[in-house]
């Protein structure tokens, strides 16, 4: 037996001695195994079958009411040096963390089955992919991991093969080890711990996806970002979308947005009617996570490490995201949604009426929304009408542009292009969203969420910014970097830009800039479209909306850039000098700004 599998077997034996399960099952990822898991959960009430005529092979799972979301204050990064975790993470010393959580794991699987889940994040044959093994006592987790990853025998074979190759090179074989138990689902006995120096994850007390599907945020982002810095690639909280023009050329764009900023909608965008008639197409590679690595030609190539979508159900409708809605009409696991009288899944935004809410109670508006606001669907990405077969390309897809975005009702233009890579890193580091009264009780509170990675970066943000800057080296053909803001409002408080499919108009300009065939105006904050650069045919904007969407308020921006400087200071000496210099450069350019017309940039 290869040493890698010997190490895996020893680890499984060690975990079994600690957790004391009744039995051990090694998952092979087969259809028969999946069906057996579904049957098991149907028998014990964990899964409820939905209407087989409208939603064949679709199921409802209800979480414990205290276990419905990620728990950031209980999510820890456990590095030897606290500074390596950084102020952007909650930290605990590794020895203390292991002792604390292992005491919870002691005997926790008695009466349960221990499942060994080998998985691959990314296409099995891709050199960009990385493997892991999750041990769990939750059949719900196993079923979801089968949808969300390449799970089972093929992943185990890759782990064995990589172990043999590593030993032949004299290197230490490694795969990410994840240990999970639902425990008692007690919020007081719940932790999600990451040990990046050991490539280890330990999660106890939660069955919620982000806390329990350890291949997702835990591996693909927190541990993945640590691996990426060590190995020279990027693990990012980004969608990947392909934009095909009428000539049949496709550009791939990676985009990072904080929550509630339309990430999944952009990943599955449907072009406006005029664009569809002209022959434009949009292809979905991924909606949540992007792994990018430099290719031999100097470009960044990206894969979606996931195989499925773990999407938020509320807000998904025929009006907002028909592709997503079409994806989940069959072979889907729904979590914490409501149910109609004829057993169809329901959430706010869909037609029809719920009779049962997400907790299984008769629906009563006095109890709040029928579907939990964070209710989810888990479905294979292949079921999306816009899914691209190139999602399975081993080498990944070449990235032409990286787009950052946030929810800002004022100041930030509809779109602007960074001057160069260093400026683009600053733009990504500074991104964020302003809160609303409905969400927080306070209006206009800016929360910076650099590269949309605040909850997911597995190490110090200052080191993370330096890693991004390190890609700007001789021979690199890096993507252009842009910032978008779909949420700017007019004086009447209404959105100025219609969003959704109309966002393709902005993407068309972005692609034109990547191809060097459209111009722009140079401003202190970057390059902006000129009047006539954006295709507005058939779009009826409010009067003067276009001017407001692309306005650069120098006074407002000076305050913004000063605040960005204070934010960078919060990471102390770990913040790279190059980023501080870039912030000062923008500040100086703004201080010189006057009422002179913008300077046109070459195409």
The CATH number for 476's domain is: 3.90.228.20
Q: Is residue 52 part of a domain?
A: no
Kindly write down the DSSP assignment for every residue of 142-207, as one continuous string: HHHHHHHSEESHHHHHHHHHHHHHHHHTTPPP--EEEEEE-TT--GGG-EEEEEGGGTEEEEES--
Q: Based on the fold, state whether residues 171 and 267 are members of the same structural domain.
A: no
pLDDT digits (tens, 9 = 90+) for 456-471: 999 999 999 999 999 9
Q: Structural domain of residue 264, as residue ranges? A: 239-307+390-601
Q: Which of 380, 409, 432 is the last residue of a domain?
A: 380
Residues of the chain with pLDDT under 70: 1-2, 172-173, 435-444, 594-603
In a domain, 175, yes or no: yes
Q: How far is CA 137 from the centre of its chain?
A: 25
Confirm whether residue 500 is marked as ligand binding.
yes
Strand partners, 599: 522
Contact 398, 300 (CB under 8 A): yes
Q: Are residues 415 and 368 in the same domain?
A: no
Give the SS3 label for residue 275: helix
502 is in an annotated binding site: yes
Shared domain check, 317 and 277: no
Is there a domain that residue 117 lies in?
A: yes
pLDDT at 1: 41
Identify which of 398, 235, 394 has the alpha carbon closest to the alpha carbon of residue 301. Answer: 398
Active site residue 78: no
Q: Are residues 218 and 273 in the same domain?
A: no
CATH number at residue 353: 2.170.8.10
Indicate whether 168 and 30 sit together in one domain: yes
For residue 395, what pLDDT is reported? 98
| 237 labeled binding residue | yes
Domain final position from 338, 360, 380: 380
406 labelled ligand-binding: no
- As a whole number of angstroms, the distance between CA 460 and CA 196 comes to 12
C-beta neighbour count of 162 within 10 angstroms:
18
Q: What is the pLDDT of residues 108-146, one digit of tens each?
A: 999 999 999 999 999 999 999 999 999 999 999 999 999
Residues 405 and 320 grouped into a single domain = no
Same structural domain, 201 and 326: no
Closest CA to 471 of 457, 456, 481, 461: 481
Residue 602 pLDDT: 57
In the set 78, 120, 218, 261, the catalytic residue is: 261
156: CATH? 3.40.449.10
Contact 86, 204 (CB under 8 A): no
Q: Which residues lie closer than 8 Å to 473 by C-beta, 6 or more apart?
A: none
Closest Cα partner for 535 from 505, 580, 565, 558?
A: 505
Q: Tokens for 415, please give them.
A: 């779109």
Give a yes or no: residue 520 inside a domain.
Answer: yes
Q: Are 301 and 313 found together in one domain?
A: no
Residue 137 is assigned to a ligand binding site: no
428 domain residue, yes or no: yes
Structural domain contains residue 58: no
Q: Is the dihedral of CA 100, 106, 111, 114 positive or negative?
A: positive
Residue 60 lies in a domain: no
Q: Answer whether 382's CB lies under 8 Å from 372's CB.
A: no
Residue-level pLDDT at 437:
42
594 labeled part of a ligand binding site: no
**pLDDT confidence of residue 224:** 98
Let me know whether 507 and 580 are in one domain.
yes
Q: What pLDDT sits at residue 448?
A: 96
Do 451 and 492 share a domain, yes or no?
yes
Sheet holding 354-356, edge to edge: 345-346, 338-340, 354-356
pTM: 0.96
Distance from C-alpha of 47 to C-alpha of 333, rounded to nearest angstrom: 9
- Is there a single domain that holds both residue 213 and residue 351? no
The annotation status of 376 as a binding-site residue, yes or no, is: yes
| Total of domains in the chain | 3
Domain boundary among 232, 254, 272: 232
For residues 295 and 195, state if they share a domain: no
pLDDT at residue number 596: 55
């Amino acid at each position: 037996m290869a040493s890698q599998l010997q190490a895996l077997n020893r680890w499984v034996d060690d975990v079994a001695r600690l957790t004391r399960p009744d039995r051990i099952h090694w998952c092979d990822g087969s259809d028969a195994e999946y069906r057996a898991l579904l049957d098991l959960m149907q028998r014990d009430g964990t899964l409820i079958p939905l209407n087989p005529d409208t939603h064949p092979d679709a199921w409802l799972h209800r979480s414990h009411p205290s276990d419905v979301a990620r728990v950031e204050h209980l999510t820890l990064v456990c590095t030897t040096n606290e500074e390596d975790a950084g102020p952007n993470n909650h930290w605990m010393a590794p020895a203390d963390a292991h002792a604390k959580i292992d005491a919870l794991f002691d005997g926790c699987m008695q009466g349960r089955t221990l499942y060994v889940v080998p998985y691959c994040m990314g296409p099995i044959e891709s050199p960009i992919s990385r493997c892991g093994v999750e041990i769990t006592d939750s059949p719900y987790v196993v079923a979801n991991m089968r949808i969300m990853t390449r799970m089972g025998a093929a992943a185990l074979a890759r782990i064995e093969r990589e172990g043999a190759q590593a030993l032949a090179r004299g290197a230490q074989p490694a795969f990410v080890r994840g240990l999970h138990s639902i425990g008692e689902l007690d919020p007081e006995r719940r932790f999600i711990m990451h040990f990046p120096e050991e490539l280890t994850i330990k999660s106890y007390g939660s069955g919620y996806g982000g806390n329990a599907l350890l291949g997702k945020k835990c591996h693909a982002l927190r541990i993945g970002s640590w691996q990426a810095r060590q190995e020279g690639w990027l693990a990012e909280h980004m969608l990947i979308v392909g934009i095909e023009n009428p000539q049949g050329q496709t550009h791939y764009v990676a985009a990072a947005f904080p929550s509630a900023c339309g990430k999944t909608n952009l990943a599955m965008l449907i072009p406006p009617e005029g664009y569809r008639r002209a022959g434009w197409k949009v292809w979905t590679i991924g909606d949540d996570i992007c792994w990018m690595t430099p290719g031999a030609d100097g470009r960044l190539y990206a894969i979606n490490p996931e195989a499925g979508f773990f999407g938020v159900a509320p807000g998904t409708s025929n009006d907002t995201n028909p592709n997503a809605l079409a994806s989940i009409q069959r072979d889907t696991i729904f979590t914490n949604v409501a149910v109609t009288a004829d057993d169809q899944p329901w959430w706010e935004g869909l037609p029809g009426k719920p009779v049962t809410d997400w907790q299984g109670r008769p629906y009563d508006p006095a109890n709040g929304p029928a579907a939990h606001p964070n209710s989810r669907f888990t479905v294979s990405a292949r079921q999306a009408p816009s899914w691209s077969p190139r999602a399975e390309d081993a080498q990944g897809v070449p990235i032409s542009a990286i787009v950052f975005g946030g929810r800002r009702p004022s100041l930030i233009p509809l779109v602007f292009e960074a001057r160069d890579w260093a400026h683009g890193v600053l733009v990504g580091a500074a991104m964020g969203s302003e809160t609303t009264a409905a969400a927080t009780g306070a209006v206009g509170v800016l929360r910076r969420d650099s590269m949309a990675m605040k909850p997911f970066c597995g190490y110090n943000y200052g080191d993370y910014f330096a890693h991004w800057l390190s890609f700007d080296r001789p021979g690199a053909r890096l993507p252009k970097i842009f910032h978008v803001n779909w949420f700017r409002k007019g004086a009447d408080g209404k959105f100025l830009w219609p969003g959704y499919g109309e966002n393709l108009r902005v993407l068309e300009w972005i692609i034109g800039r990547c191809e060097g065939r459209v111009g722009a105006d140079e401003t202190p904050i970057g390059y902006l479209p000129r009047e006539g650069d954006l295709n507005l045919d058939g779009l009826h904007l409010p009067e003067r909306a276009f001017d407001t969407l692309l306005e650069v308020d120098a006074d407002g921006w000076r305050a913004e850039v000063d605040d960005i400087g204070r934010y960078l200071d919060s990471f102390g000496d770990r913040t790279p000098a190059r980023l501080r210099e870039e912030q000062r450069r923008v500040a100086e350019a703004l201080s010189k700004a006057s009422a002179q017309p913008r300077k046109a940039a070459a195409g």
